Amino acid sequence: MDVLVPLLQLLVLLLTLPLHLMALLGCWQPLCKTYFPYLMAVLTSKSNRKMEGKKRELFSQIKGLTGASGKVDLLELGCGTGANFQFYPPGCRVTCLDPNPHFEKFLTKSMAENRHLQYERFVVAPGEDMRQLADGSMDVVVCTLVLCSVQSPRKVLQEVQRVLRPGGVLFFWEHVTEPHGSWAFMWQQVLEPTWKHIGDGCCLTRETWKDLENAQFSEIQMERQPPPFKWLPVGPHIMGKAVK
């Protein structure tokens, strides 16, 4: 199986050669940043319909995390189109952070549709460098389908620890690698170099649960879920919470 991977990677590269050439010449990334929000708007809408019950169950726990202000100061990391807003309880003051400025118009629309929330601001920055946010300023951080595409999950989780107040909670929902040695894992390896370009840096084979376990949270609750779309190469999902 290991011998097949580089051969199949080469075949996929040849089939998608124009994409790789555009990436090499620096033309693909600006195009991807522009179209990716539209792709995510479609996929997150479909995903929400499939995962609505589990998302409501997960985010219902936010209600009890009110800070000193009497409201919940919530940071959504890699906020995308704001697809999670509908699941947040009333009284949340939401700060959105994403490195892609093209998501802002989708966020504005999502906030207009979710008047039960108070929209604070949109910060254009990578998760590895959230210097615009003060230490201990957040009661809750939400991170869904984000750690697959950041440069360093370890640094992102360090920043999450910094901005959370003591007792604050990270709620996460991430896709992870298929079991090593499986045919599904082999296809993830084959497709990953091309998928990274299509998915704005998305890595298919990350073991994100290990990053969470090594991030020195005081408590972690985690469960696995099957992937919502069998026709995509993304693997199983992990969902849960981690307490600072």
Give the pair of three-digit tokens for residue 6: 């580089």
Neighbours of 221 (CB within 10 A): 12
How far apart CA 2 and CA 164 sit, in angstroms, is: 42
Angle between helices 4-15 and 183-198 (to 10 degrees): 30
Please, are residues 34 and 102 in contact by the beta-carbon 8 Å criterion? yes
What pLDDT does residue 45 have? 84
pLDDT tens digits, 44-79? 888 888 888 999 999 999 998 987 778 999 999 999
> In the predicted model, what is the mean pLDDT of residues 189-206?
95
Query: 């460098």: which residue's tokens?
Result: 129
Q: Hey, is 57 helix, strand or coil?
A: helix
Per the DSSP assignment, residues forming a β-bridge with 121 are 95
Query: 């957040």: which residue's tokens?
Result: 138
Question: Which residues, at least 6 apart from 139, have a Cβ–Cβ distance to it below 8 Å?
Answer: 65, 66, 67, 72, 73, 74, 164, 165, 168, 169
Phi, psi dihedral angles at 116 (to 5 degrees): -75, -5
Average pLDDT score, the chain? 93
Strands 237-243 and 164-175: antiparallel
Domains (ranges, CATH) in the chain?
A: 3-60+72-80+135-243 (3.40.50)
Phi, psi dihedral angles at 190 (to 5 degrees): -65, -45
What pLDDT does residue 50 have? 85
pLDDT tens digits, 126-140? 999 999 999 999 999
Q: Using the predicted structure, report yes or no on whether residue 211 has a pLDDT greater than 80.
A: yes
* Angle formed at CA 223 by CA 219 and CA 227, multiple of 5 degrees: 145
Give the pair of three-digit tokens for residue 180: 């090593």
